[in-house]
Amino acid sequence: MDHAAEAQRTDLMTITRHVLNEQSRHPESRGDFTILLSHIVLGCKFVASAVNKAGLAKLIGLAGETNVQGEEQKKLDVLSNEVFVKALVSSGRTCVLVSEENEEAIFVDPALRGKYCVCFDPLDGSSNIDCGVSIGTIFGIYMIKDKDNVTLEDVLQPGTNMLAAGYCMYGSSCTLVLSTGNGVNGFTLDPSLGEFILTHPNIKIPKKGKIYSVNEGNAKNWDGPTAKFVEKCKYPQDGSSPKSLRYIGSMVADVHRTLLYGGIFLYPADQKSPNGKLRVLYEVFPMSFLMEQAGGQSFTGKQRALELAPAKLHDRSPIFLGSYDDVEEIKALYASESNNA
């Protein structure tokens, strides 16, 4: 056994250590935020383990059937939702939760309340589970002014008020990408330690990318600027090479690739979905927050995405996010369309 190498492994920057370091930069903090994040991380580990067993559970007759204790085995997205709700409530640091799986906001029992609101999609892309495509959890964290008198209005804040956001991708490895408003960092789960280790410090998205990511099956319903932009990606008029198309159909995986390799991810409005498909509070806002923190941009077709003011919990919005220059191009196309209107 190589003892020197083993000793080296204990000097790793774990996510807990990283968040504690961040906390020490704020002498006034009481550690509430750190505790909340550690509960989110625990939820991610639990879901990672469940996702890894998903195919086997079906094979040995678990999913959708009743087990020995008479408990029905739950579908993964329902299970993930329960895991995160319980982890967040038991942290004692949240007062209201918004989940993609719940129609209404969840108001935490007053005895367990803290000052934070968490909006999350417990398992984004879950329709892809059976074919082994990467799926993930997305979350955004807000501060609530008065935890004892929290209302729905307190939840419907613009994304500019967000304190932190992140996602955990369950794929070939389990990766957690997090920003607490001071850059973006990526952590990978080391299964032998059960710890998330810092593997992608200070992620910066390239200023311009060579990839565009969109569901081209919707092309016949697109508006003018989107159609023009995609046409330009495929047939550039300035002599540059065409962009490559990459579309997984799982937002976490598509955004993760965009963040690391650059390029643009778009889910525009179209005639079928005039408000777009992606939900503002737990998809558009967290991903836009991460993109901006990494030096990219996020745009709705009308405005900066983080400046949206949602009217309802599950409001949707069109979204164009990614490398700074690529998003500038789509902004210019929308600007020239409104000038010609």
Higher pLDDT, 10 or 311: 311
Domain presence at residue 186? yes
Give the confidence band of 337 by pLDDT, cuts at 50, 70, 90: confident
Q: Which two tokens stand for residue 207?
A: 């200023």
Mean pLDDT, the chain, integer: 91
- Which of 202, 227, 254 is the last residue in one of the domains? 202
Q: Which two tokens stand for residue 298?
A: 């996020």
- pLDDT at position 11 is 78
- Regarding whether 281 and 180 lie in a shared domain, the answer is no
Give the CA distances from residue 260 to residues 57, 136, 198, 201, 327, in Å, rounded to whole numbers and listed in that order: 33, 16, 15, 12, 16
Q: Is the pTM of this model over 0.75?
A: yes
- Which of 202, 220, 248 is the last residue in one of the domains? 202
Give the confidence band of 165 by pLDDT, cuts at 50, 70, 90: very high
Domain presence at residue 84? yes
- Regarding whether 133 and 258 lie in a shared domain, the answer is no
Give the confidence band of 280 by pLDDT, cuts at 50, 70, 90: very high
29, amino acid identity: S
Q: 121-132 pLDDT, tens per residue? A: 999 988 888 888
Q: 204-225 pLDDT, tens per residue? A: 999 999 999 999 999 999 999 9
Domain presence at residue 10? no
What is the pLDDT averaged over residues 61-75?
55
**37-46, 62-71, 315-324: which range is least confident on average?**
62-71
- Regarding whether 52 and 145 lie in a shared domain, the answer is yes
Say how many domains are in the chain: 2
Share of residues in the chain with pLDDT > 90 (%): 78
DSSP state of 304: B
Domain presence at residue 255? yes
- pLDDT at position 4 is 61
Domain presence at residue 1? no
Domain that holds residue 230: 211-339
pLDDT at 168 exceeding the cut of 80: yes
pLDDT at 60 exceeding the cut of 70: no
Give the confidence band of 183 by pLDDT, cuts at 50, 70, 90: very high
- Regarding whether 162 and 59 lie in a shared domain, the answer is yes
Query: Angle at the Cα of 103 (from 308 to 32), degrees rounded to 5?
Result: 70
Higher pLDDT, 339 or 4: 339
Give the confidence band of 69 by pLDDT, cuts at 50, 70, 90: very low
- For 81, residues 6+ apart whose C-beta sits below 8 A from its C-beta are 99, 100, 101, 102, 122, 123
pLDDT at 282 exceeding the cut of 90: yes
pLDDT at 66 exceeding the cut of 70: no
Integer Cα distance of 269 and 223 in angstroms: 8
Count of C-beta atoms within a 10 Å radius of residue 245: 14
- Regarding whether 48 and 163 lie in a shared domain, the answer is yes
Give the number of C-alpha atoms closer than 13 A to the C-alpha of residue 126, restricted to the C-beta side: 20
What is the pLDDT averaged over residues 287-294?
98
E strands, the chain, are 94-99, 106-107, 116-124, 135-143, 164-170, 174-179, 185-190, 195-200, 211-213, 244-245, 264-267, 278-279, 297-299, 316-317, 319-322
- Regarding whether 96 and 140 lie in a shared domain, the answer is yes
- Which of 202, 229, 260 is the last residue in one of the domains? 202
- pLDDT at position 127 is 81
Phi, psi of 91, deg, nearest 5: -65, -25
- pLDDT at position 27 is 79
What is the pLDDT averaged over residues 181-196?
96
- pLDDT at position 68 is 46
- pLDDT at position 8 is 62
- Regarding whether 227 and 157 lie in a shared domain, the answer is no
Judge contact between 156 and 142, C-beta under 8 A: no
Q: Which two tokens stand for residue 75?
A: 């579908």
Of the candidates 46, 298, 293, 78, the residue with the CA atom closest to the CA atom of residue 177 = 293
**67-81, 182-196, 316-330: which range is least confident on average?**
67-81
Q: Ranked by mean pLDDT, which of 11-15, 18-22, 186-190 comes out on top? A: 186-190
Q: Which two tokens stand for residue 255?
A: 């955004």
Share of residues in the chain with pLDDT > 70 (%): 91
Judge contact between 286 and 306, C-beta under 8 A: no
- Regarding whether 185 and 44 lie in a shared domain, the answer is yes
